[in-house]
C-alpha cells in the first residue's frame, strides 16, 4: 500500500471515529440518566454511599481516583450475598450428604454426630460442637477428588431446596447485592468473594450466580494431595483444614490470594470485621458496608444489634455495630434500604 | 428524543460502523501477515508447537476450541522466565540482606550459617543445608509487615546486579518467553506465574516485568499474622512456611489459587513436572514446554540431560527428559530455538 493511500485511510478513519463519537455521545446521554444502576435500593444514605464512592474512585479529576487495574471489591457470601438462615447452605449440603451416604455407613446409625443427623434430632444438632461439625465435614467434604466434589455439589444444588422459601439456594441471592457487584464491575472493579465457607463449594456456582469466576473466590479450604489414579494425576481432598478464611483469616486471605488491598468490602457479621478494617486502613476513598438482617417478613431478623434475636448464624454483635459507627462503616438495613430482596419477588 | 430520531441515529451509526470495519479490515490485513508474534524464536518444532496450539484453541471451528474466559497458561519463573544461575535472584537477595542487616546482629559474626555469608565463604555456602537456608530466609524474609517487605525487595531490585551480566535481575528475563506470554494474552489467555520462589517477592515486579498482576502470581508463601500497629491493622510475616509451591505443590497451588486447569504450562526443571502432568491430563489441545539451558555462551548450560553439567539449581534430569519425550512435552533449546535471549542483546 502506498504511503499516500495509508495516510488517506488514516484520515478517513479519524473522520469516521469523530462522527461516531459525536452520535454516540448525544444519543447515549438521555438513556444513561434514565438508568438507575441500583434499582432495588431505596434512596437513602446506604445507596448514596455506594454511588458517591464509585464517583470518587472513577472520576479522573478526583483526588481519590484509582486506576481501573487497581479497583478491587470483596464480598462475604453467607448473609451478605445470599440467605444464611436457618443454616448455611453448605451445612445443609453436609447434612443431606450424611443422609445420602448413610447406606454405605451402617455404623453411623449408632455413632454421634451422625446418629443425630440421621434421626433428624434437632435438639442434639443444635448442640453440635466444632468437633462434631469437623466429623461431618470430614465425612462429606473429603475422600474424593476435587473434580468429583464439584460434581457432587453441583448435583445437590440442582435439587436441594430451602426449607422456608422452597426454592434452590442459588435463587436466594440478594438482588440489591447483585446490582452492587455488577455496578462495581461496570466501573472497572474486580469483584471477589471472600467467604468463611468452602472455597470449592462456592466455585461451583460463583460464576453463574454472581458473575465471579473460580479464581476470584477466596474461601476456607481443605488440604489436597497429588495422586495418580489409573496413571492420571488427580487432587484428593483430605479431611484436614488447610486455610480458615474467616475473621483475621479474611485479611490474610486477601493478601495471600489477591496481594492487593480492596477499596470496598461488604460483610454482615463479626467474621467480616478484619476484612473491613483492612480495607478501611488504605488511603483515598473507602467503602465498608454491613448488611443488617432486620426484615423478618421478607427474609430473617437476627442480631443481636438493635435488639434482634441472637442466633448462632451471622453474629452482628453490638460491638460490631459500635465499631461500624466509629469507623464510618455503612450499615444496610434490609427492611429500609432494599425495595426488593430476591429477583423473583 | 423522538423515536424517529433515535432510529435515524441507529441507522447512521450502523452505516458508520460498516465503513469503519471495511477500512480497518483492508488496511490491517497486510500488517497482520507481516507481523510475527514470536520474532525472537527461530522457526522449528518449538515455535510451531506454540503457534499451532494457539490456533487450535482459538479457532471457533476447531474441535479443541476453548472459550476466552477459560484460557489459562501457567509459567514457572526461575530458569523459565529469567536467569536462575549461578543462584536464584531471591537467594542473592537473602544473602545481600544478611550483609545489610549484619551491623544489627553482631552475634552473626560467630554463628553459622550467617558467619559463612558475612565472610563470603563460598565453600561453606555451597554446602548449606535446607536448615541453613531456612535460618537465612527467616532472618531476611520474616519479622516485618507485608508492605515493608515489598519495599525492601523493591529497593534491592533497584540496585542489585547480576554478577556476570552486571545488569539488574529484572533485565535478565528471556525475551522469547515475554513474547509467548504476550502472544497468549493477545489471544485471550490469562497468564499466571506459578513459582517455587516467594509469592510476595515476585509480586513486587511481576506486573512491570511480565505484565502479570499480583493476583496472578502463585508462589511459596510464609504465614502472616494480623496485628495492630498504632491502631492500624497490618500483616506481619512470620518465620514459618505456609505453602510450598513446588513439585506437587504447583498442581495443588493451581487448583487452590485459580481453581481451573491450564491448557498450557511452561517450566524448566523437575519442580515443574507435576504442573505439566496436571496440565496435560485435561481434554483438548494442550501445550507443555520445558526450557533447556544449553547455551553456555549467551546464558548458561546445565542439565544433566544431554550430558550438560549437573548443578544444584534447575534440575532438568534425564528422567524429566524421558518423560517429556513420552508425554509429548516440547523441549525448548535456548541455543537453537531462540535467536535472541535478552531484550538488550
B23, B30, B248 member nearest A226 (Cβ):
B248
**Cell, residue A162:** 430451602
Q: What is the ipTM of this complex?
A: 0.89
Report the share of chain B in percent with pLDDT over 70: 89
Task: Please check the confidence at residue B22 and state whether its pLDDT lies above 90.
Answer: no
Residue-wise pLDDT tens digits, B60-85: 999 999 999 999 999 999 999 999 99
Q: What is the pLDDT of residue A310?
A: 75
A-chain residues near B203 (CB < 8 A): 259
Q: Which of A17, A27, A34, A217 to mutate to test the interface with B (most CBs of B within 10 A)?
A: A27
Range B151-166 average pLDDT: 98
Q: What is the pLDDT of residue A261?
A: 98
What sign results for the dihedral spanned by CA atoms A330, A335, A339, A343? Answer: positive
Q: What is the pLDDT of residue B9?
A: 52
Task: Please check the confidence at residue B44 and state whether its pLDDT lies above 50.
Answer: yes
**Cell, residue B267:** 517450566
Q: What is the pLDDT of residue B303?
A: 78
Which residue stretches of chain A have pLDDT < 50? 1-4, 6-7, 10-11, 14-15, 18-32
Query: How do strand B217-229 and strand B232-243 relate by DSSP bridges?
Result: antiparallel
Instruction: Specify the DSSP element, H or E, that contains A226.
Output: strand A217-229
Tell me the CA distances in angstroms from B264 to B36, B72, B140, one per residue in order: 20, 7, 34
pTM of the model: 0.90
Contact flag A27-B1 (C-beta cutoff 8 Å): yes
Range B190-216 average pLDDT: 98
Query: CA B63, CA B72: separation in Å to the nearest integer?
Result: 18
Contact flag B281-A251 (C-beta cutoff 8 Å): no
H and E: helices and strands count for chain A:
13, 7
Task: Please check the confidence at residue B309 and state whether its pLDDT lies above 90.
Answer: no
**pLDDT interval class at B305 (50, 70, 90):** low
B17, B259, B281 member nearest A232 (Cβ):
B281
Query: CA B9, CA A336: separation in Å to the nearest integer?
Result: 41
What is the phi/psi pair of residue B51, to 5°?
A: -60, -40
Contact flag A224-B12 (C-beta cutoff 8 Å): no
Range B157-169 average pLDDT: 98
**pLDDT interval class at B314 (50, 70, 90):** confident
CB A264 within 8 A of CB A189: yes
Residue-wise pLDDT tens digits, B228-269: 999 999 999 999 999 999 999 999 999 999 999 999 999 999
B-chain residues near A203 (CB < 8 A): 259
- Mean of all residue pLDDT scores within chain B: 91
Amino acid at each position: 500500500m502506498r504511503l499516500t493511500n495509508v495516510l488517506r485511510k488514516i484520515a478517513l478513519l479519524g473522520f469516521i471515529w469523530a462522527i461516531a463519537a459525536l452520535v454516540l455521545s448525544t444519543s447515549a446521554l438521555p438513556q444513561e440518566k434514565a438508568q438507575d444502576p441500583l434499582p432495588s435500593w431505596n434512596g437513602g444514605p446506604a445507596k448514596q454511599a455506594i454511588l458517591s464512592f464509585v464517583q470518587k474512585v472513577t472520576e479522573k479529576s478526583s483526588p481519590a481516583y484509582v486506576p481501573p487495574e487497581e479497583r478491587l471489591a470483596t464480598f462475604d457470601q453467607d448473609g451478605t450475598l445470599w440467605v444464611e438462615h436457618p443454616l448455611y447452605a453448605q451445612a445443609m449440603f453436609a447434612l443431606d450428604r450424611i443422609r445420602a451416604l448413610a447406606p454405605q455407613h451402617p455404623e453411623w446409625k449408632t455413632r454421634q454426630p451422625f446418629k443425630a443427623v440421621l434421626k433428624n434430632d434437632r435438639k442434639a444438632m443444635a448442640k453440635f460442637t466444632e468437633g462434631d461439625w469437623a466429623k461431618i465435614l470430614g465425612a462429606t467434604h473429603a475422600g474424593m477428588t476435587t473434580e468429583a466434589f464439584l460434581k457432587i455439589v453441583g448435583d445437590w444444588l440442582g435439587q436441594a431446596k430451602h426449607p422456608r422459601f422452597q426454592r434452590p439456594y442459588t435463587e436466594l441471592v440478594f438482588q440489591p447485592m447483585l446490582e452492587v457487584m455488577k455496578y462495581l464491575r461496570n466501573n472497572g472493579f474486580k469483584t471477589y468473594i471472600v467467604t468463611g465457607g468452602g472455597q470449592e463449594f462456592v466455585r461451583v456456582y460463583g460464576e453463574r450466580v454472581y458473575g465471579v469466576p473460580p479464581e476470584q473466590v477466596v474461601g476456607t479450604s481443605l488440604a489436597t494431595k497429588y495422586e495418580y489414579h489409573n496413571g492420571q494425576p488427580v487432587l484428593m481432598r483430605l479431611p484436614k483444614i488447610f486455610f480458615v478464611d474467616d475473621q483475621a483469616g479474611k485479611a490474610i486471605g486477601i493478601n495471600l490470594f489477591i496481594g492487593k488491598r480492596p477499596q470496598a468490602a461488604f460483610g454482615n457479621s463479626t467474621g467480616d470485621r478484619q476484612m473491613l478494617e483492612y480495607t478501611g486502613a488504605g488511603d483515598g476513598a473507602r467503602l465498608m458496608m454491613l448488611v443488617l438482617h432486620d426484615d423478618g417478613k421478607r427474609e430473617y431478623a437476627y442480631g443481636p444489634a438493635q435488639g434482634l434475636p441472637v442466633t448462632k448464624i451471622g453474629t452482628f454483635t453490638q460491638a460490631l455495630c459500635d465499631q461500624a459507627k466509629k469507623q464510618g462503616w455503612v450499615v444496610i438495613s434490609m427492611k429500609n434500604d432494599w425495595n426488593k430482596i430476591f429477583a423473583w419477588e
